Structure 1
Amino acid sequence: MNTTPSTVKNGDLLIAEPFMGDTNFDRSVVLVCEHSPSGTFGLVLNQQTDIHLGDVIEDVHPDLPLFVGGPVQQNTLHFIHRRPDLIDGSTRLINGLYWSGDFDQVKQAINLGTLTERDARFFIGYSGWSEGQLDAELLQKAWIISRTTTDFLFDTPTKEFWRGVLKQMGGEYKSIAHYPVDPRLN
């Protein structure tokens, strides 16, 4: 096992290599929320479901879409947002982007219309790696590490997010963005 410290930081994006071969992460972009020597916690940003927040939490109106944060514990709810002025106890990931916080304040802000899907994203489940697991996957080149801005994250359509991040990186990554899902059909 490689003992070199990982270059991953909280707030980084893990972009699935186009031919990774793991159906849980096919063309996924994972936001790293917590990375330490003991493991990594992240949320898949571009796997929207047909389920809404109101389907899993009572007394939330209007209904906001839910995303699959990853294959681990899909009976848990997580969220990111860009409204620390409305939500106490949040963890800053990058400039203007926060993870978690006081969920009672979140529900109140949603119901008042001050927190919308332009400012928050909700996830069932999460992506997790045990100690050394992500580093091993990085050595296998399963993931591309990048950064983003809060505006890009919330303003880019979900279906275009994987390609959009790669195009934004430029160079060889811009070419990867155009790889077909199934090269046999090319």
Structure 2
Amino acid sequence: MSIMSFTSLKSHFLIAMPQMADSSFAASLTVICEHSPQGALGIIVNRPTNLKLEEIYRQVGIQQPDAMSQHGDIVYSGGPVAVERGFVLNSGEMKWESCLSICKGLQLTTSKDILMAMAQEKGPADSLVALGYAGWGAGQLEKEIADNAWLNCEVDPAIIFDTPTHLRLHKAASCLGIDLGLISSDVGHG
């Protein structure tokens, strides 16, 4: 019996393959924020919702001054787990409460202090607010990758913060030299 070594995919993008059957992840681009032998946690970064950041501010009791410009920032669907819970991927210039460093230029925060700073235009240079997360149990993500459900590559924060939402998946795949439009969604076993 051989023991397989574990390789963490923390700070990697998961790029959904065209044949992804799970509608929660079809055509998704996910940032893996934590990965250990016990499982993984990620945030989907290309699923905008109709919810605006001002609504999140109201829901958590942050009052915005009248003189301040109203944010039109979109809130994303970060995944199908705990959809009532908020997460903020940000560029990491400052440390916030409940902060997890993912890689240089990217951290994940779940605390209200970052939202308060953002409402006062004192937050991070770049951020993405998401509700919910993607989660995998022990060995589940590794099996899905072995089954060709995902491609993966190192995270590039510029894809999250500087690339239009609808182009992020294809931009991440192009980092691997892959054009997802040329990959068939039909799986063949010859």
Judge same fold: TM > 0.5, yes or no: yes
SS in 1 for 2:175: helix
How many residue pairs end up in the alignment? Answer: 176
* Unaligned residue ranges in structure 2 (runs of 5+): 65-69
1:113 and 2:124 are equivalent in the alignment: no
SS in 2 for 1:113: coil
1:94 and 2:112 are equivalent in the alignment: no
**Scaled by the length of structure 1, what TM-score is found?**
0.83
1:9 is aligned to 9
User: Within 1, Cα distance between the matches of 2:151 and 2:45?
Assistant: 15
User: Within 2, Cα distance between the matches of 1:93 and 1:126?
Assistant: 15
Q: Give the conservation status (yes or no) of the 8 Å contact 2:87–2:110.
A: no
User: Within 2, Cα distance between the matches of 1:113 and 1:143?
Assistant: 37
Q: Give the conservation status (yes or no) of the 8 Å contact 1:6–1:135.
A: no
2:67 is aligned to none
User: Within 1, Cα distance between the matches of 2:81 and 2:174?
Assistant: 29
**Scaled by the length of structure 2, what TM-score is found?**
0.82
1:161 is aligned to 168
User: Within 2, Cα distance between the matches of 1:22 and 1:15?
Assistant: 13
User: Within 2, Cα distance between the matches of 1:162 and 1:180?
Assistant: 16
Deviation, 1:179, is 4.8
SS in 1 for 2:76: strand
User: Within 2, Cα distance between the matches of 1:107 and 1:165?
Assistant: 28
Q: Give the conservation status (yes or no) of the 8 Å contact 2:52–2:74.
A: yes
Q: Match for 2:92: what amino acid?
A: R
Aligned-pair RMSD on alpha carbons? 2.4
Q: Give the conservation status (yes or no) of the 8 Å contact 1:86–1:109.
A: no
2:56 is aligned to 56
> Which one has the largest radius of gyration?
2
116, 130, 137: which one aligns with 1:130: 137
Bigger proportion of residues as helix:
1
* Unaligned residue ranges in structure 1 (runs of 5+): none
